[in-house]
Structure 1
Amino acid sequence: MASTPAPAPTGRLVDTAEGVGLELSRTLRAPVARVWATLTEPERTALWFGPWEGEGVPGGTVRVQLAFEEEQPWSDLRIDACRPPHRLAAAMPDEAGDWRMEALLRPAEGDATALRLVHHLVGTAGVEEIGPGWEYYLDMLGAAVAGTDRPAFGDYYPAQRTYFAELLRGR
């Protein structure tokens, strides 16, 4: 029986107006509207990230359950910007500060969608854990859009840890 190849990481560190960002990308075989719905509708986010409750409006805060994390905690998620169906910027505050991220969508060839996720970093500490986590979640998003089986987190971490550690050495 042939084994499935490990997922290849796509993350890279980029300069942003605020400092450094961890940028990851995917091309999803679905129209922008379907990808947007999977990013923003609570019953669809439940398939790959977790359900949320509240009023998802710019400047507002929703409560999101991190359904694929240990103990499935609930966290606040502040909506910083929302331009359907192309840009969603949000921040998830925790004891270390705000985890600021934005998802950017654009049409790609053949009714596909190009997705770019930028996690705006306060510093580069922890990138070797953050990177594999986002790779996993973006592939979870892809599986939710396509209606396929979810990937296993063990295929991402610790397997991709070295890749992301090497990104830091190149800066």
Structure 2
Amino acid sequence: MNMDLTHTNERFTVLSKSSEFLNIILNNISSCVMLLDNELRLRAFNDPLTTIFSNKKDEELLYRKCGEVLGCSFQIKEGTPCGSTSKCSTCELRVSALFSYVENKPIMNEHLIKSFVDYDGKKEDKHLQFSTRLFKYQKEKYILTIIEDITDLKKLEIEKKLHKGTF
């Protein structure tokens, strides 16, 4: 990399011409980044999605609904498509994504606790922090969704509170 670039105040402007560079960055951040369409179908994603959420090994994820991709336990338990379960109307992630799409308003750093099913069929509650925002590209509208798994951080906070009174 040209060292002169790193000493300027560029905001990735020069580097944005390199799709390889941007893909490397996108796939090396710890957050799950998804691009969803108006039906909440996955159109693009970064690598952390497959290590944090997906409960299906080596399966094609594109064009599947968000809950199916993430391994939503309600979708799996009820055997109904994402968007049709008894819990979909109150799913914070779903509601926020649709709100951002319809109202063109971002949702920033919201928290939720939700059950997901992993590769082995084991149900696990995860603490998530997420943001959603309308994203327009080549006359198409998408929902940019960024999800961070903060489960370990929340467990440490709980443990710290439990042990606070013991010292």
Answer whether TM exceeds 0.5 for this pair: no
Identify the structure with the greater helix proportion.
Answer: 2
Per the normalisation by structure 1, the TM-score is 0.31
Tell which has more relative contact order, 1 or 2 (C-alpha 8 A, sep 6+): 1
Identify the structure with the greater strand proportion.
Answer: 1
Q: Which structure has the larger Rg over C-alpha atoms? A: 2
